Structure formats: C-alpha cells, structure tokens
Chains A and B, each alone.
Chain A
Amino acid sequence: MKKNVIVIVFLTFIICLSIILTSAQKAEVKISPKVDKKVSEAFVSNNNVEVIVKVKDEKIKSSSLGIEEEDVISRQGDLLIINSSSSDLGILESNGNVVEIEKSFRFRALLQDTIGIVNATKVWPIRVNSKNITGTDETICVLDTGVDFTHPDLIGKNKTCIIDCFNKICVQNCSIGDDNGHGTHVAGIISASGSILGVAKSSNLIGVKVLDSNGDSSDQGTLDIKNAIDWCVANRNLYNISVVSLSLGTLNLFSNYCDSSFSSTLTSVINNATAFNISVIAASGNSGNGVARNTTSISAPACITNATAVSATNKDDSFSSYGHYNFLVDLFAPGTSVTSTYPDGLYALASGTSMSAPHVSASFALIRQYYRLKFGRTYTPSEIESLLRNNGHNITASGLNFTRIDNFKAITSLDNESASVALIIPANNFINTSQTIEFKCNATDLSLRNVSFFLWNSTNSVFNYTTSEVSGEYNQLNINVSNISLGNYKWNCLYYDWNNNFAFAQSNFSLTVGGINVNLISPENGNNTKLNSANLSCRTTSEENYNLKNVTFNLWNSSALIHTENRSISGLNNVSGFNYTFTYEGEYKWNCLGFNNNTNSSFATTNYTITYDITKPNITLISPNDGYSATGTQNINFEFNVSDLRNISKCDLILNNASVSYGESILKNQSNIIPYSVSSGTYTWGINCTDYATNIGNSSTRSFVINAASVSSSSSGGGGGGGASSTSTFAPGSDEVSKGYTKELKRNDKIRFFDSSSSEHTVNLDFVGTDFINLTIRSDPIKLVLGIGQSAKLNLTSKEFYDLFVKLESINDKKANLTIQTINEPIIGPETKNNEINENISETEDTRNKGNNFLIIFGVILIFILIAGVLIWKKFKVGLEKEIIKKVEKDLKRNKK
C-alpha cells in the first residue's frame, strides 16, 4: 500500500508538472501592448519566430536582454532581429529595455528611394529621337552569383541563359539561376522593371556566374573573373554589351593602383574591355571577416586603374560605416538598405558596396544611351566616368573630394542647346481694348528649368515681369496681366534649361492696348435656320479716348463676299443689327468691321456661320415590313434610313399616329433603330425626323399585327437566361465608397471604384470559403484573405497613408457581404505595417486563452483534491482498521475472562 501511494504521488506530480509547463508555455504567447499580434499568431504554427525587437537605446547591449546571444541574428541601431522561442518572447516582453516586438518579415517590397537619390527618375522622361533615356539597347554583364530571371521584375531582361564561369571555362547553362540571391539583387538595382524599378529600367542583362551559393569565389576566382570579362568582351557586338558590373572584391586591400600587384592578367583583361568601350565597374569592398573598414585601401579589382571603383554612401549622402575608400575610389552611390529583387519573386533589403556598384553600372548605361542617341557615337568609359565625377553631388572626407552620382546633372550637362520658344497669344500686332490680357507662350528643350515673362512698354521699360520654375521637356506658360495702361507694348518669354542654356522667342510680339473691339452677338455661331430672313447683330466698342465712327456688315457664301452694308455709329459702345434675306440654301459666314475716329479698325476675332436649310429629311423605312405579324408581346426594332442636307437632331417613332419613342444621335444615310415593346393589336407605324433647322420629314406608313399569345401553351417560354452563374461588376460612386459601400458578392464578382485621386481600382472576389474569402485588389495587385469580421487597411497609392478599408461582414449561401471604404489615414510606425490586417479574432483568441488557463488551473486543483482525498481516505481506513482490531482484541479478552 505504501508503494501504491508513492506511485500515485509520483505520477500525479509528473502530470501536474507537464500541465504546468505546457500552460506556462501557452500563457507566454499572449497578446501584450509590446508584442505585435502577428508575433503571437506566428507562434501558433512555429516553435521559433524571427522577431524585430526595438530597444530603448541603441547603447543597450543584446546580452542585457536575458536571452541567448546566439539567438540574436543581427542588429542595426536600436533594432535587433532575434530568433525567438515562446519563452524568449516572455523574457523580452518583461524586459524594461524592450519597447516593441514585432514579426520580422525577411523579404518585403519597400518603396525604392535610391533611384530617386541618383536622379534616375528625372532622367527617364528625357527623350532623344523619341526615345526615353531608360537604358534601352544597352546590356550589362553582371558577374555575380547568377541571376534569377524568372523574377517578375526581371522577366525578359536576359539576353542569354546564365553564363557559368565558376571554376570553369565559361559555358551557357540554362538550368541554373541564382543559388545565393546576391546577383538577383544586383540585377534588380540595374534593370528591374515591375514592382520596383532599376536605375536603367529598360536595359538588358547577362548573368555571369563567378560566385557560389555562399557569395564566395572558387579558389581560382581571379581566373574565373578574367574568363567572364573575356566572354563579355567577345560577345559585345552580339548582345550590345556596354558595362561589366562587379559587386565583389578581395579581402586583401590595396592602398594604390594594383595593376601589377594584384593580377596583371585581370588588369590586361579590364584594359582590353575598356579599349572596346566596355566600362568595368567594381565595388571597393566592405569591412568584415577580420578586415576593418579602411579609408586608405580598397579591394581588388576595384583598385585596377581602368576599373571604375565605387564605394557606398548612406541615403543622406553621409559615408557608409562599412565601405572602404581612398583616393582610388572614382564614384560613390547609395549602398545602405537598398531594396531590390530577390529569388523566388521576393524582394530584399541589402547593404554594401555591392549595392552601390550596380547603381553606377546602370548610370553608365543611361549616359551611353543618351550619347549614342544624341551624338551618334559611343561615349568612352573614361568620358562617362569623368562626366559623372564632374556633375554629381560633392562629398568630402579625409581631405579628399568625391562625387555621389547624379544622373540628371550628368546628362543635362551635355545639353548645349537652348530651348525653342514660341509666343502664342495675343498674336503679333494685336489690338486689345481690355486692359486685362492673357498671355501664352511655350517652349521645348531637353529639360526646362524656369521661365520668365517680360512685358515692355513703348519706352522699353519693363511693365511686367513674372518668373516661375518649370520642368520636363515641354512647358506652356499662361499668365494674366491686368491694369495694363493704354498704349503700345512688346512682350516675350525667356526660358532656362538645367544646363543654364537660355532663349527668348525669336522676336518680340507687339501689342496695342486700346483701339477698337468687335464681338458678334446673334445668332450664335453655327446657327441653322429654315426662315429666309435673318437678323444678324454685332457689338462694337472703342477705347475711351476715341468715339466710334462706322460699322460694316459682311456676308460670304461658300466662295465669295455676297453682301456688305455700312452704317454710321457713334459713342463708345454700339450694337447694330443687319437684316438679310436668303435666296438659296447653304452655309454662310458673317462678320462686322468696326472703325473709330483714330483710324483703328477691327473685325471680330472669328467669322460666325449661319446655315439656311429648307429641305426636309427624307426617311425610308426598312423593317418591320408592311403586314408583319407576330404572336405575343414583342420587342421590335423599328429600323429606318434618313438623308438630309444638314444633321438630324432627332427622329420620332409614330405608332398609330402618336409619337411613342424617339432616337437621338441619328446617323445620316445609315440604318438607325428605335426599339419599342408592343403588345397584341393592329398598328400603323412611321418615322418623323427633325433636322437642325427644325425641318420635319415624315416617312410613309406601314402596318403590322401582334396576335395574343395562346393560353394553352405550357412551355416555360423563353427561359430568360437560365441559372448560369454570371459575374457582376458593381461600380459605386466615389461618394458611396467614401461613406462605406457594402455589397453582397458571389465568386468572381467585382467592385470597381475610384479613389480620391481618381485612380481606378477593382476589388475582385476570387474565392468564397465557409468562413473566409480571397480577394484581389488591383491595379497594383494585392492578394488578401479575410475571415468573417476581419478587416484590412491598404495603401494602394502611397506608403504615407492607408487609402482603402476592406471588411468581410458575413458569408451567407456562398455570398460574401463585403464593405469597402476609401479612407485617408496616415501610416504611423515602421514600414512593415504597409498593409495592415486588423483581425478582430484577437479578442476571441484572448478569451480562448483565458478559457484554457481556467481549465488548466481547474484540472490542477482537481488533481490535488483527489490526492488529498486519497490520503485522507487512507488515513481514515487505517484508523478504522485499528479501531476494529482494538475492538476484536477487547472482545477476545472479554471472552477469555
């Protein structure tokens, strides 16, 4: 029995212990203000989760967080990436130095900013010979770990399969891509064209493999690179190769040119490439692997004279903390936290001079393309390098001056042509009675920078001067100048471009403010009339110093002036009407010429037209035929043809002498249809058409009979579309969507809507599950899974704010009740919150966790009660046995007595 007790106690404690440990583990994965919900959710299906931990201060050591050092994957300032277990999470959560814990998404598409820093985006709109400067027809050899050309942003960029030079003579190998990711990242910086854009987004690539899956060369790495460059040079004409990009380097550093001290073989290969006008761009190397960041030495092959050595800046143009540099470095480019393509359709953030070099490689391609198109010759590697070095953003360190590349500055520095300027209105020698005048001029150039408007008076003093910043290759300036004194003026526009070339229009335009002005009043321009008599009137005004003298009415037919009428007038403002009787049909033009006492004279700016038309439209009926008959209510297309001198304004369908419907947008001399539904009866029908001069033409009449439908028929009759599950597209108005638009959708239904910037988007319901749905939101496709009650905020147009709210309200009978609402809510916090799913399930999970905890506690208490009960019962049983024995002994003693 003693043994049994021990076994029971032991087993009980094993059970209790396991329950307590399990419950403790679960309890640790709870939602806390510090921990992002996505972290808790990730622990449901993972034992370890990669989390980003934000600590109060970047000086706080990771060792003080209470977790194993080996779990810290990396650190940047106050952010640590930690491979966390659930118990680690509890420790981190309770640590006072930890501010925030959220799920780390290793690969995430972020807004690219480095292409803007190097001003590639300002270069792309520049057009030479109708082609944008985007790297078209330029090919860059990327000597790296390979390239994953199946990435959506790199598809079609490859001129060949991967050229495999790793530890072998170069061979084309279509079965390899990129087993590391580095080469794909570099390729994206150069040429991506999709969700992200490379610096030379239309350039082509050749992926050459010289590094292995660890980013390491073979033991004969120098020879591999020599072979690779040789291959690119040998195939330069076949693939239009202009740049070789090397985001790699030695661990050994060189303080001076290393043409002979590193590898004379590689030096001669690079010299050969540049001799063929192929630029070789190489990274200067990073600190690491036992090599401290160096400001007096750089890696090879960047140190070779004819290679263009590139080191890294941060996005604020400060020097990176890792990139080697010395006087050998030719150019700098952004290298820190650069977003680019990554294998398997992903995107990754990476840092290093590896990222700087492709920015420069692509810039070389842009400049080569510009020069080829503009000047019809190839720009040499040293010319391009000098151009970028002399036209970029200056940065200084250790007494050395360097340049961070600026493509726009470099390319516009080649522009030696001033803008072509044209003056539009008012026309030269224009007389304007109003003292407020609108001026318009325009200009074209490679890239315009600003425009100045000049208005000079008769003594050549500037009466008005206005200047404004402009951009692009075309600009039109519209400017209103008011309170212009009466007198004679000249005006012109002066345009500057980004290379400070400037130009006026070829000659100034003259302008007189004052004089005489004529406006035509009635009838309106383009009038049509069937009346042979017309009254045509015009208003004549003169500047206040000179009275009106006379006005002449002129009327032209299609070929000549057929009528003039002169009338004396006076004052400063006069309206005169002129009667004219038309004798034949046709289109006429008319105008008035006013004179004042100062010999100023003027017509109205444009002639008006008037058409005299007395011909009625001629209508021919087509169908239904006369005597047509049918059974049951019919939708009949009444078809006819109409001809007329002028256009037709409308046609009426006349049924039994009454107009029952009409058609607009009637085409002359073509078949027109007016549909109309008729029930049983006998009808006559015809068409009456009215032209713009209100002449009405009547057609002949036809008759038809519609018989009543038979009552005995039991067929379903027509069926009307059956049960085919057609899809619907709903198009709510912007107002509706902004207030929250809820619609019941079935699979493949769409909601099309416009956001506040009038961009169109479509929400497509891809799948309806029992308690969730799959959605796709376009134009920029976003896939979304929502459970019932779940909502999501999306940023469709900007990373600055959420602009769409989507919520799945319910699912009934395979139909989802979905709400969408356009919003404008700033995105606060790190970029990992780009599209945020708000899961209302968190509360229910909390409740569930609480329920689980309660059950666990209840179970433990129950087990302890059971143990206590067993022990008490044992004690009671032993006591009872003792009493029985005592009683039996007493009875025995009594019996003996």
Chain B
Amino acid sequence: MKRSALIVLLIVILVIILSSIYFKLPKNDSFPDDLYCESDADCFPASCCHANSCVGVANKPDCSANLCSAVCELGTLDCGQASCLCVKNKCNFVLK
C-alpha cells in the first residue's frame, strides 16, 4: 500500500508538472487563411489607418479613398513602430 500511495503521489505531481508546461508553451494552433503568406511582401496592414494587426494579401483593405489622421499612434504600424512580417507562413504584426 505504501508503494501504491507513493506511485499515486508521483503520478499526481507528474500530471501537474506536465499540465503546467503544456499551458505555458505557446500554442501552435492553426491560423485562418486570411493570414497566410509566403513572404513579407504578402503581408499588409489590416486597416487603412493606425493598424495594429496584419493580414495576407488576399485580405488587403482598399485604402485608395482613405485619409488618416497624421499622428503616430502608440502600438500601431505608425511611424515605423512595427511592421507586417511573414513568419511560418503567417502574417504577423511585429513591433521593432
């Protein structure tokens, strides 16, 4: 019985450690098609003004008629704070 209790104890500890590692690890989820890219050139701002996320070329917004306030908004692509990069075939918003 003593041995079995210790085994149970070890299993519980192991489960806790493994689950915590699992939850801490970055999720390698699949991502929607609108973020798909093959190179940086395939990635574009998700909105016309002060974008804080990126999309693939297929979802590039049409900004030809838009005007934006000319301010460098924090946490956006404004004024070289960040760029849209293709990482593992997914468009990412990457702060510099």
Q: Report which A residues bind B (CB closer than 8 A).
A: 1-2, 5-6, 9-10, 13, 17, 62, 69, 72-75, 81, 144-145, 180, 182, 185, 210-211, 214-217, 219-222, 225, 247-252, 283-290, 293, 299-300, 321-322, 350-355, 357, 871, 874-875, 878
Q: Which residue of A lies closest to B83 (CB)?
A: A290
Q: How far is the CB of B4 from chain A (nearest CB, A)?
A: 6
Whether A354 contacts B70 by the Cβ 8 Å rule is: yes
Tell me if A69 and B72 are in contact (CB < 8 A).
no
Does B48 lie within 8 Å of A249, measured CB to CB? no
CB proximity of B47 to chain A, nearest CB, Å: 7
Chain A interface SS verdict (over half): mixed
A875 CB to closest chain B CB, in angstroms?
7
Report how far A638 CA is from B94 CA in the complex, Å: 88
Complex CA–CA separation, A680 to B69 (angstroms): 86
B: residues with CB less than 8 A from A are 1-2, 4-5, 8-9, 12-13, 16, 44-45, 47-51, 63-81, 84, 94-96
Residues of A within 8 A of B69 (CB): 144-145, 180, 182, 211, 215-216, 247-248, 352, 354
CA gap between A143 and B84 in the complex, in Å: 30
A-B contacts, 18 of them at CB < 8 A, read A17-B16, A75-B81, A81-B74, A144-B69, A211-B67, A215-B68, A216-B67, A221-B66, A247-B69, A249-B67, A250-B67, A289-B45, A289-B48, A289-B78, A350-B72, A352-B69, A352-B70, A357-B70
Bound state CA distance, A145 and B44, in angstroms? 25
Contact partners of B80 in chain A: CB under 8 A: 287-288, 293, 321-322
On chain B, the residues within 8 Å of A81 by CB distance are 74
Q: Determine the distance from Cα of A72 to Cα of B65 in the docked complex, in whole angstroms.
A: 31
Inter-subunit contact A9/B2 (CB<8 Å)? no
Interchain CA distance A221-B4 in the complex, whole Å: 74
Q: Is the CB of A289 within 8 A of B68?
A: yes
Q: Provide the bound-state CA to CA distance between A322 and B73, in Å.
A: 12
If A13-B16, A72-B95, A215-B69 are given as contacts, then 14 extra A-B residue pairs at C-beta distance below 8 Å, sorted by A number, are: A5-B1, A5-B5, A6-B8, A74-B81, A216-B49, A216-B67, A217-B68, A225-B67, A249-B68, A249-B70, A286-B70, A289-B50, A289-B77, A322-B72
**Chain A contacts for B16, CB-based, 8 A:** 13, 17
Closest 8 CB pairs of A and B: A215-B69, A322-B79, A288-B78, A283-B70, A352-B71, A354-B70, A216-B49, A354-B71
Task: Give Cα distance in the complex from A225 to B67, angstroms.
Answer: 10
Instruction: Quote the shortest CB–CB distance from A286 to chain B (angstroms).
Output: 5
Are A182 and B71 neighbours in the complex by a CB distance under 8 Å? yes
Q: Does the CB pair B74–A289 fall under 8 Å?
A: no
A875 CA / B1 CA spacing, docked (Å): 9
Kindly provide the distance from the CB of A338 to the nearest chain B CB, expressed in whole angstroms: 10
Q: Which residue of B lies closest to A350 (CB)?
A: B71
A216 to chain B minimum Cβ distance, whole angstroms, is 4
* Cα–Cα distance between A533 and B5 once the two chains are bound (Å): 128
Contact A214 B47, beta carbon cutoff 8 Å: yes
Residues of B contacting A247 in the complex (Cβ-Cβ under 8 angstroms): 69-71
Minimum Cβ distance to chain B for residue A767 (Å): 36
Residues on A with C-beta less than 8 A from B47 are 214, 216
Contact between B71 and A214, CB atoms less than 8 A apart: no
- Contacting pair A286 B74 (CB below 8 A): no
In the complex the two chains form, is B4's CB within 8 Å of A2's CB? Answer: yes
Chain A nearest CB: distance from B24 CB in Å?
10
Tell whether, in the assembled complex, residue B4 and residue A217 are in contact, meaning their CB atoms are under 8 Å apart: no
Inter-chain contacts of A350 with B (CB < 8 A):
71-72
Q: Which residues of B are found within 8 Å of A75, using beta-carbon distances? A: 81, 95-96
